[in-house]
Amino acid sequence: MTPHSKSFFRSCFKCAKWLFASSSMAVLMSANVSATLFQAEDYNVFFDTTPGNTGGAYRSDDVDVEATADVGGGFNVGWIDRGEWLVYENLQIPSAGRYIVRVRVASQGGARASVDLNAGQTVLKEFDIPDTGGWQNWTTISATVDIQAGTHNLGVYATSANWNFNWIEIVPEDGNSGEPGDPNGTHKRLKVVNGCDEPMWVQWLTAPGVQFNGPNRHRLSSGQSIEYDIPDKGLPSMRFWPGFGCDANGHNCVVGASGGPADLGFTCPPEGCAPPIDSKFEATFGCIPGINDSDCAKNPSAPDQVLGRGDWWNSSMVDGFTVPVKVVVNGHCPVGPQPAPVYGPGGPEGGEIDCSSLRVADCPMNEDLSTDGQFPHLSNVDMRVFNPSSGAVAGCYSPAAKLTFGHWADGFQTYSPPDPQAKMYTCPTPPISPDECSSGPADRTDYRNMIHSHCETYAYAYDDGYGLSSCPAATDLSYEVTFYCPQ
Ligand SMILES: [Ca+2]
Ligand SMILES: [Ca+2]
Ligand SMILES: [Ca+2]
């Protein structure tokens, strides 16, 4: 969401509450709710766009309520239209601090909602509601927010239609961020969604010697998702990426056939494996609080050490990209440097990296990779990846990848990363310092500018967008990664 649309939303939101103040549709009900968990259907004040209760259950004003199939039963609010809102009075906050807002939702196709205090005076969080695959397929979305002490009215505003709402909960962050980890336990800490209208196959790689039990080359129909059981003790160096146009076994993909080790079942198509330029989600999942250090998973890059308490992840475009991608962090992941024991740069602004508008069609076709004129034969380079068998465009190289990846190179001469033709784009350190890299030609490429016009993620090794993020590992901290159609 752009800053402009955000301010527009805020003022519009206040309009809705103004509308309430003068509307005969507003009805005040007596408060009959707990201090922290509010059932959606136990609202005190509402604005609904249709006369009567379309669901016919529980209450008989204009809010549309039905029996819910969610765990715990009861009712949910449904038939939610854009602009409708519900208010829950008497939210008691004994002391100012960080609280976790959890909202129980279902959506067919995805939606947006906003949670606020006191008629929009404070917008706590604007939530993206994922496509849960059905009106009664429930999920909990959450965010960590700051709330001042006092008695507040909690508002839930429908930024869009297309979702159902069961309950909302406000809990103090301390001691309530998930359950303690179990050395043998797992939690669903990663969800991958097929945001394309054709099938997608989710592929993954581990670090050598690391076991992971999830299905690989797993087919997802349009809109479907898969949640991975990630060990509470941590899981190092995972890479997840999509394939499209694959065969029934998830092999020979048109897009995403970049391969992997044979012992993980990977093969290459007859034309050879694609260059590993995939849009991707890479993560080392940290060890959950409550597990003793000695029980945490080993760090494969430092075998005498165990994984720390932070999740480290990226969705960088340093090697290129194949499809649009969006990563949403659900749970507490503050922006900015993280104190021990998490460490690292913290999470992205707004809890997401949204490269959903990225297009291979925008891949530079006349890129200057000449290192400021030193290598004139590289001054006009087509960065698109062509499948050598079909001739179809299958992705976009980054400058570093174009200069060094030999797969499907089709006569284009490639180099080693430290070679003079490549080093100012690949930036191996040493000899290229981070400052030399980010003040050099890598920061001026069409590719870098194109990536940054869509999303804040790394386009080269020392880019100043978001590269690596770090979040406190927790049982209720998860990532939702959506890959969209190749386009
Ligand atoms: Ca209604
Ligand atoms: Ca309604
Ligand atoms: Ca309910």
The DSSP letter of residue 383 is -
* 66 CA from centroid of ligand 1 (Å): 12
The residue-averaged pLDDT of 10-39 equals 36
- Tell me: pLDDT of 14 over 60: no
The DSSP letter of residue 376 is G
Look at 11-20, 247-256, 388-397, 415-424 and tell me which has the smallest mean pLDDT. Answer: 11-20
Closest ligand (CA of 59): 1
- Tell me: pLDDT of 175 over 60: no
pLDDT at res. 181: 84
* 32 CA from centroid of ligand 2 (Å): 22
* 161 CA from centroid of ligand 1 (Å): 13
- Tell me: pLDDT of 323 over 70: yes
pLDDT at res. 423: 97
Closest ligand (CA of 43): 3
Number of neighbours of residue 110 by Cβ within 10 angstroms? 17
* 33 CA from centroid of ligand 3 (Å): 11
With cut-offs at 50, 70 and 90, classify the pLDDT of residue 304: confident
* 19 CA from centroid of ligand 2 (Å): 16
Look at 80-94, 294-308, 346-360, 469-483 and tell me which has the smallest mean pLDDT. Answer: 294-308
pLDDT at res. 174: 59
With cut-offs at 50, 70 and 90, classify the pLDDT of residue 172: confident
- Tell me: pLDDT of 319 over 80: yes
* 253 CA from centroid of ligand 1 (Å): 47
* 71 CA from centroid of ligand 2 (Å): 23
* 65 CA from centroid of ligand 3 (Å): 9
Closest ligand (CA of 54): 1
* Tokens 């146009």 belong to residue: 245
More confident position, 171 or 444: 444
Q: Quick check: helix, strand or coil at residue 53?
A: coil
* 166 CA from centroid of ligand 3 (Å): 4
Number of neighbours of residue 30 by Cβ within 10 angstroms? 7
Cβ-count burial of 406 within 10 angstroms (0-12 exposed, 13-18 middle, 19+ buried)?
A: exposed
With cut-offs at 50, 70 and 90, classify the pLDDT of residue 291: confident
Give percent of the chain above pLDDT 70: 91
- DSSP E strands: which ranges in 414-477? 469-472
pLDDT at res. 5: 28
Closest ligand (CA of 75): 3
More confident position, 33 or 288: 288
Question: Quick one: tokens of 270?
Answer: 């007859």
* 88 CA from centroid of ligand 3 (Å): 13
* 73 CA from centroid of ligand 3 (Å): 7
The residue-averaged pLDDT of 399-413 equals 93
With cut-offs at 50, 70 and 90, classify the pLDDT of residue 447: very high
Task: Give 430-443 pLDDT, tens digit per residue.
Answer: 899 989 999 999 99
Question: Quick one: tokens of 299?
Answer: 């760090």
Closest ligand (CA of 25): 1
* 157 CA from centroid of ligand 1 (Å): 15
pLDDT at res. 97: 79
d(CA 302, CA 298): 8
Closest ligand (CA of 56): 1
Domains, the chain, in order of start with CATH, read 3-172 (2.60.120.260), 181-487 (2.60.110.10)
* 153 CA from centroid of ligand 2 (Å): 20
Closest ligand (CA of 62): 1
Cα-based angle 46, 145, 357 (whole degrees, multiple of 5): 85
The residue-averaged pLDDT of 12-22 equals 29
Question: Quick one: tokens of 145?
Answer: 């927010």
- Tell me: pLDDT of 22 over 60: no
d(CA 51, CA 229): 44
* 135 CA from centroid of ligand 3 (Å): 14
Look at 33-42, 164-173, 219-228 and tell me which has the smallest mean pLDDT. Answer: 33-42
* 165 CA from centroid of ligand 1 (Å): 14
* 63 CA from centroid of ligand 3 (Å): 13
pLDDT at res. 178: 65
Rg from Cα positions in the chain: 24
Closest ligand (CA of 37): 3
- Tell me: pLDDT of 31 over 90: no
d(CA 106, CA 77): 10
pTM of the model: 0.67
Question: Quick one: tokens of 86?
Answer: 């519900």
pLDDT at res. 171: 81
- Tell me: pLDDT of 303 over 90: no
- Tell me: pLDDT of 131 over 90: yes
* 18 CA from centroid of ligand 1 (Å): 19
- Tell me: pLDDT of 13 over 80: no
Q: Any idea how long the chain is?
A: 487
More confident position, 23 or 112: 112
